[in-house]
Each structure stands twice: as C-alpha cells, then as structure tokens.
Amino acid sequence: MIEWEPQVEDIEWTRSVIESMEINQDWMEGEMAFRKTGDTTLTLLTRTERAEGPAQRVKVVLEDYLDWVVDDSEVKVIPDDPTMAAQMMQQQAESWTCPECDEQRVVNMNLGKVEWKTEGQTYYIDETGERQPLDRWVVAVRCDCGKPVHLSPDDYFLVAGELNFYTWYIDIASNDTLFDGMTHHQIARVLNSEQIVNLVDGVDGIVLDNLETAHLGTTYQNKTVPPHMRGTFCHIFEMAMDEEE
C-alpha cells in the first residue's frame, strides 16, 4: 500500500459519493471505473496504466478510513497508448455475451434497434468543485433469448459502430420512429442557412431529400433525448410497431 494520507475533505467527499450510490451502480472517477457490489464493497472494473497511483489512493481512503473493501483482483488495465487501448477494448467487446443465456455474442445481436433509457444517477464535479447529479444512461440491446443486455453508451459505441450510435428509436402514436443522425457531409449537401435556422427554431415538417428532417434538442414530444443526439440534425423514418425489419 502506498504511503499517503488523505485530507479530511478527500475522505468526506468520497464518503458522500459512495453512500449515495445504489448497489450495481457504477462510479467513474478520472480514468477509473468502480462498481458498488455490496453495502460496503466496491470492485475496480477498469483503470488506465497511469491511474495506478490514483486507484491506490482511492483504495486507501475506502479501506483505511471508511471500512470499505475494494476488490481490484480482476481489474482491466487499459494501455496509455491510444491505439493499443482501442485495439484492446475492441477485442474485449467482441467477446461479450448475454449475461442471461451466456450464448449469443452482443456483436451478433440487433444493434441497429435498441432502447436508450436512464437508470438512476451518476455524479460529476462542476467548475466550482461541487458534486452535481447526472442521469445515468444505458443502452438496452435485445438478445434472442428475450432478455435485454444493458450497455454503457461507450460500450455500445464499441460494438455497434458510429452509424448505429447516432440513431434513436422511440414510439410515437403507435409508430416506431427512427431518428437517423445526419453526417456533416449530408448537412452541407442538403441544408441551406435558412433551413438550418428554421430547424433549430423548431419548425416541423421540413422535408429534404424526400425525408422529414428535424433538429433535436433536450426533449422531443415530451421524451428526453439521449445526450449524444442533442443538437443533431436527423432524418425521420416511421414504421408500424409490428412491421418486421
């Protein structure tokens, strides 16, 4: 264990974070990811190579001052080199299977039609140093066994790719509605400045390339828009709920 003593503020801040967490909730701190696995237990899921020291300091606070137990026996250490880290994470993502049936690989599921939803809250530190709540978004991918597999947005991006990531399915008036994010090239090709202003101002019914187009804000028809889709220009596709893809 490292020779380091935390300040009182470090201990109390850590206490406030972990006591507000629900069991199985994740805690992202710097380049580390923890999961609360019991009333007084945390598991260190991942960290970068350079976060070895910070991870040890968190462990000191939790175990020596707060009587918690931190399990870091199976932590995944992410290389500091960006290329090596991306390759490692991609290889790991390709091996993920459904936790219910442990048969179907996530990469072979229907990654084009998923449900974005919030499950509890996580926290971040604002520019004044205060802890602020933030919705914890997850992506539900449906396995053939019928059970949903919940992924973090970053994990979903790894297995689904950029094109699937920038889409959003919702139910509007019993229709399955797909918002397909436009690329910069598409925006430049089909939108002029007046149309962009109208879309940002919320004008409905603008049709471009024979497709209805919208600009997404924080909500759409009383439904909360996932953070990564806010500010995007999208083509809108509608289909009956029972229509087969």
- For the chain, what are the domain ranges? 8-78, 166-245
Dihedral sign (CA 36, 37, 40, 44) = negative
* Lowest mean pLDDT, pick from 148-152, 164-168, 191-195: 191-195
| pLDDT tens digits, one per residue of 83-92 | 888 888 888 8
Closest CA to 141 of 167, 164, 113, 162: 113
The predicted model scores a pTM of: 0.67
| pLDDT tens digits, one per residue of 113-131 | 999 999 877 777 777 877 7
Dihedral sign (CA 160, 162, 166, 167) = negative
| pLDDT tens digits, one per residue of 45-76 | 999 999 999 999 999 999 999 999 999 999 98
Instruction: Quote the mean pLDDT of the chain.
Output: 87
